[in-house]
Amino acid sequence: MHVAHLSLQDFRSYATAEIALRPGVTVFVGPNGQGKTNLVEAIGYVSTHGSHRVATDAPLIRQGAPRAIVRAGVVRDDRRALIELEINPGKANRARLNRSPVPRPRDILGMLRTVLFAPEDLALVKGDPGERRRFLDELLTARAPRYAGVRADYDRVLKQRNALLKSAAAHRRSPGPEVLATLDVWDSHLARLGAELLAARLDLVSDLTPLVARAYAALAPGGGIASLAYRTSVSDRLPPLPVLAAPENGRAGTTPYAPSNGATASTTGGTPGPGPAAEPHGGASEDGLGDRQSAARGHGDVPGSPGRPARGAAPSAGEPGREGVQTSSNGAARAAHEVAVDGGGAQRVERDVLVAALEEAMRDSRRQELERGVSLVGPHRDELVLQLGGLPARGYASHGESWSFALALRLAAFELLRADGDDPVLILDDVFAELDSGRRRRLAELVAPAEQVLITAAVPEDVPAELSGDSFSVDRGEVSRVS
């Protein structure tokens, strides 16, 4: 898969732009503020229907223009497609495929898949839990675009439920039977959609974990072992399953989930460590899944729909084993729950078990929710736990280690999408300037085989020699081919 042509109209600083692209490496070089990031941002927007830089669509439209239009000619398995998105401030965006209108922009999710590395990715490690939830949900949608609808439906039901809770809390009196009956209905809807999203996230973490460990080891040889765990608000209500060592063939054998009291499960070995800093559900949006770009990713008609994702790839053989017992913050050792999956990724915790766990947790939290006027249970409160050498990466990892972990997450996402049959387009936005020479070289070696790599850099010297290819100069919004 590659982008053969990019056309812009009133997007960011560009009144118009027409750029022909080829497979392989393409580098956009220019001083900061000249418009090179706007080009790759536009390609990313075609892929995910959201920007990696801003939370709403309004800044994407050139000042004074009524709308912006982005077109991308995409080649996939020798088949060509023209994707067009019309960005309209304050109203629904529009989409066309091969110049024919489509009912909803989200209907063309998956036509172009990208993996974007950017300085903002440091927030995946150092930022709030909402950043990591957003990462998972974008990858989910990239692998299976239907999850854009699941997530949009979840956000819609969550907002309705929160509105009811806030109304009850504002009256400062016990809710009547009609309110409780209505709340029961919303509980049922939220549990059903939440279970679908939770099951998909658990499956994704299982697929992602060994690939992250492998990518981190390649970027930072000799460093600690990178591992993932998923902490959900219903962990302690799920049936405890045996902790399984990684199979001989290296496929992910379990999806870890951490008890909600703060203990975490290490998924790739290493020294057991404490759970992340005391923010078990921090960073959650009360009206959505907690990602800072929820509204932007609704592409006008679907509030809060994400990027998109794929099925899992087999990790390399010989992945380290797992530690299954952790010490929680109160010092009591307890076995960390894990959702086991078979070699093909089929979940052994049934969906109805997740639905029942969510419904039970909502019933038990009802009094507190009515007092606070917010929903306290569900995937919008969950956390993807990142650990390095058994310690939470957030707060313990150095700047260089945090960068390597963020890059490892993106590289793992690339491998998952590639396992589906097509190389996604790799975008590296001012990434090499943030890395030392060793990490630059190792990252270049890892991404060079991709079908198409798009790079932005302030100066040519920032780009490793291994990534030579086409080059464009970007100066004051003018794009010209150099080589």
Q: What is the CATH number of the domain that holds 448?
A: 3.40.50.300
Does the pLDDT at position 462 exceed 60? yes
Residue 177: predicted pLDDT: 76
Residue 282: predicted pLDDT: 42
Residue 136: predicted pLDDT: 97
User: Of residues 235 and 75, which shows the higher confidence score?
Assistant: 75
Q: Within this chain, do residues 270 and 175 fall inside the same structural domain, yes or no?
A: yes
Residue 476: predicted pLDDT: 87
Q: Where among 354, 379, 396 does a domain terminate?
A: 396
| Residue % of the chain over a pLDDT of 70 | 77
Residue 335: predicted pLDDT: 28
Q: Within this chain, do residues 61 and 103 fall inside the same structural domain, yes or no?
A: yes
Q: What is the mean pLDDT of residues 243-260?
A: 39
Specify if 424 maps to a domain.
no
- Which of 49-53, 70-74, 300-304, 432-436 is modeled with the greatest confidence? 70-74
Question: Rounded distance, CA 407 to CA 362, Å?
Answer: 36
Based on its alpha-carbon atoms, the radius of gyration of the chain, rounded to whole angstroms, reads 22
Residue 311: predicted pLDDT: 31
Q: Is the CB of residue 154 less than 8 Å from the CB of residue 190?
A: yes
Q: Where among 351, 373, 396 does a domain terminate?
A: 396
Specify if 200 maps to a domain.
yes
Q: Is the CB of residue 263 less than 8 Å from the CB of residue 56?
A: no
Beta bridge partners of 246: none
The runs of H, that is alpha helices, within 31-176 are 36-48, 123-126, 129-143, 147-171
Q: What is the mean pLDDT of residues 449-468?
A: 94
Task: Work out the mean pLDDT of the chain and round it to a whole number.
Answer: 81
Confidence class for position 107, pLDDT limits 50, 70, 90: very high
Question: Rounded distance, CA 334 to CA 324, Å?
Answer: 9
pLDDT digits (tens, 9 = 90+) for 187-223: 999 999 999 999 999 999 999 999 999 999 999 998 8
Q: What is the mean pLDDT of residues 337-350?
A: 43
Q: What is the mean pLDDT of residues 346-366?
A: 85
Question: DSSP string of 136-180?
Answer: HHHHHHHH-TTHHHHHHHHHHHHHHHHHHHHHHHHHTSPPPHHHH
pLDDT digits (tens, 9 = 90+) for 320-334: 333 332 323 332 222
Residue 268: predicted pLDDT: 39
The pair of three-digit structure tokens given for residue 217, joined into one six-digit string: 């080891």
Q: Which residues are annotated as a binding site?
A: 30-37
Residue 163 neighbours by CB under 8 Å, 6+ apart? none
Residue 341: predicted pLDDT: 33
Question: Rounded distance, CA 113 to CA 21, Å?
Answer: 16
Confidence class for position 98, pLDDT limits 50, 70, 90: very high
Residue 333: predicted pLDDT: 26
Q: Within this chain, do residues 149 and 102 fall inside the same structural domain, yes or no?
A: no
The pair of three-digit structure tokens given for residue 483, joined into one six-digit string: 């080589």
Residue 172: predicted pLDDT: 64
Does the pLDDT at position 181 exceed 70? yes
Specify if 186 maps to a domain.
yes
Q: Within this chain, do residues 40 and 84 fall inside the same structural domain, yes or no?
A: yes
Q: Within this chain, do residues 345 and 231 fall inside the same structural domain, yes or no?
A: yes
Q: Within this chain, do residues 350 and 248 fall inside the same structural domain, yes or no?
A: yes
Host domain of residue 140: 129-396
Specify if 122 maps to a domain.
no
Does the pLDDT at position 89 exceed 60? yes
Specify if 236 maps to a domain.
yes
Specify if 294 maps to a domain.
yes
Confidence class for position 316, pLDDT limits 50, 70, 90: very low
Q: What is the mean pLDDT of residues 114-123?
A: 94
Residue tagged 């291994």 (tokens) = 466
Q: Within this chain, do residues 280 and 362 fall inside the same structural domain, yes or no?
A: yes
Q: Within this chain, do residues 101 and 189 fall inside the same structural domain, yes or no?
A: no
Does the pLDDT at position 266 exceed 50? no
Task: Give the pairing type, strands 333-335 and 325-327.
Answer: antiparallel
User: Of residues 291 and 122, which shows the higher confidence score?
Assistant: 122
Largest pairwise CA distance in the chain: 72
User: Of residues 419 and 238, which shows the higher confidence score?
Assistant: 419
Q: Within this chain, do residues 265 and 337 fall inside the same structural domain, yes or no?
A: yes
Residue 346 neighbours by CB under 8 Å, 6+ apart? none
Does the pLDDT at position 422 exceed 90? no
Closest CA to 340 of 450, 235, 243: 243
Specify if 120 maps to a domain.
no
pLDDT digits (tens, 9 = 90+) for 152-175: 999 999 999 999 999 888 776 667
| Residue % of the chain over a pLDDT of 90 | 65
Domain count of the fold of the chain? 2
Does the pLDDT at position 420 exceed 90? no
Q: Which residues are annotated as a binding site for ATP?
A: 30-37
Residue 303 neighbours by CB under 8 Å, 6+ apart? 152, 155, 156, 288, 294, 295
Residue 413: predicted pLDDT: 97
Q: Where among 344, 375, 396 does a domain terminate?
A: 396
3-state secondary structure of 475: strand
Q: Within this chain, do residues 86 and 163 fall inside the same structural domain, yes or no?
A: no
In degrees to the nearest 10, what's the CA dihedral of 136, 138, 140, 141?
Answer: 170
Residue 270: predicted pLDDT: 37
Q: Within this chain, do residues 259 and 358 fall inside the same structural domain, yes or no?
A: yes
- Here the CATH number for the domain that contains residue 201 is 1.20.1050.90
Q: Within this chain, do residues 17 and 79 fall inside the same structural domain, yes or no?
A: yes
Specify if 407 maps to a domain.
no
Residue 58: predicted pLDDT: 93
Does the pLDDT at position 105 exceed 60? yes
